[in-house]
Amino acid sequence: MSEMRARLYRLGAQSLAKILTHQDRVPHSPTYGCFDRNFWHLRITDFPSGMAQEFVLPLALAHAHPFEGNPFHQNETIREWIRAGIAYAALSAHKDGSCDDYYPFEKAAGAAAFSQYAMLEALRLTGLDPVPFLPFLKLRGDWLGKHQESGRLSNHEALIANGLLRLAVLSGDQDFAGMAERRVERLLSWQSDEGWFFEYQGADPGYLTLTIANMAEIDALRPDQGLRPAIGKAIDFLAGIQPPDGWLGGEWTSRNTNNYFPHGMEVCGAWHPVALTVNDSAVAAMDPAPEYDDDHILAHHSWSCLKAAIGWCATRPKAAGALPEAGLSIRRAGASTLLVATKKGGSYR
């Protein structure tokens, strides 16, 4: 288990140096703080992607938490670059607080939600003064709270609700808490009786782990919302479909992704232990892990892996089918069953 936790730290931290190469770190530059290198450096695009400002969150996690091989911990220069990243998000946003992602005037809810969540978390983790950024964060929060995408992307809906609730805590404005509750109600209406939440037209287990993570964080802030039955049902769905090799991504999912976001399963493991069993199998399968180092969205998995490692539950459920006193281990995959006698040198049937 300690090796899997170390693996998560490595997976989360391996992109930190690259993230810095994406940022304009020259203080007198007009694009100081921008993480979209295609815009400020390569000049491939004539507008910055708002999603890129999400990169402040992996840096903030590394700044706030010590772990092996982490030179960013309590580094004041890193803290300044995080502040610059939040400032540039405010500078480059549209007048209504929204931002673009892949094309100009797109006003992408996903980019706005991911970067908003990242900035709110970065402010909390680093202790930066939020006051200069509150007008912008509230403007974006108001836009996110009222904007509705055309498709059903449950992970976006959960992320928007999570960000709105965190903004309500930071700003003291309970209107954002009301917006969050309405978005949660909408999200719950998208849950199948089978436990999964819609990603466009179907079930995507990888993105479902991000939906679960955001719902888990909302539950931690507002247990009165009563989200645990819905979260537990979603986790049970994942446990029921998880293949023998543990990996939940691939072309059989609704969005054909190899995504897996582990941090929410650790949060839920305290009250729903099967989440840890799912996480153990999935993290064990990340050897080697999928290639997540896409320049555009490399922060997604970086901060999720770091959060999972930081919040790792020390007490894990026993492996399914393991009977150590009897010296037996049982593994089932579909119609096949493997019986192993661990006290007889590995005799099996």
CA nearest to 59, candidates 18, 103, 102? 18
Alpha-carbon span 215 to 229, nearest angstrom: 11
pLDDT at 208 over 80: yes
CA nearest to 42, candidates 21, 18, 56? 21
**CA dist 141 → 50, 175, 229 (Å):** 14, 10, 27
Hey, is 338 helix, strand or coil? Answer: strand
Alpha-carbon span 117 to 120, nearest angstrom: 5
Q: How confident is the model at residue 162 (pLDDT cuts 50, 70, 90)?
A: very high
Q: How confident is the model at residue 334 (pLDDT cuts 50, 70, 90)?
A: low
> Which secondary-structure segment (H or E) carries 331?
strand 328-333
- Give 30-76 pLDDT, tens digit per residue: 999 999 999 999 999 999 999 999 999 999 999 999 999 999 999 99
pLDDT at 171: 97
The amino acid present at 281, given as its one-letter code, is S
Report whether 19 contacts 298 (CB < 8 A).
Answer: yes
> What pTM, to 2 d.p., does this model score?
0.92
CATH no. of 2-319: 1.50.10.100
Q: How confident is the model at residue 331 (pLDDT cuts 50, 70, 90)?
A: confident
Hey, is 270 helix, strand or coil? Answer: coil
Domain boundaries, the chain: 2-319, 320-349
Alpha-carbon span 62 to 266, nearest angstrom: 19
pLDDT at 319: 63
pLDDT at 332 over 80: no
Report whether 163 contacts 116 (CB < 8 A).
Answer: yes
Evaluated on CA atoms 28, 30, 36, 37, the torsion sign reads negative
Tokens, residue 80:
């300044």
**CA dist 266 → 36, 271, 307, 312 (Å):** 31, 10, 9, 6
pLDDT at 269 over 70: yes
pLDDT at 135: 98
Report whether 180 contacts 168 (CB < 8 A).
Answer: yes
Phi, psi of 73 (to 5 degrees): -60, 125
pLDDT at 121 over 90: yes
The amino acid present at 100, given as its one-letter code, is D
- Give 278-323 pLDDT, tens digit per residue: 999 999 999 899 988 888 889 999 999 999 999 999 988 876 666 7
Alpha-carbon span 167 to 133, nearest angstrom: 11
Q: Is the peptide bond before 262 cis (omega within 30 degrees of 0)?
A: no
Q: How confident is the model at residue 328 (pLDDT cuts 50, 70, 90)?
A: confident
**Strand residue runs (E) in 121-212:** 198-199, 202-203
Tokens, residue 256:
């054909």
Alpha-carbon span 146 to 132, nearest angstrom: 23
Alpha-carbon span 140 to 94, nearest angstrom: 9
Report whether 103 contacts 87 (CB < 8 A).
Answer: no
pLDDT at 1 over 70: no
Percent of residues, the chain, with pLDDT higher than 90: 85
CA nearest to 253, candidates 200, 191, 189? 200
pLDDT at 281: 94
- Give 76-113 pLDDT, tens digit per residue: 999 999 999 999 999 999 999 999 999 999 999 999 99
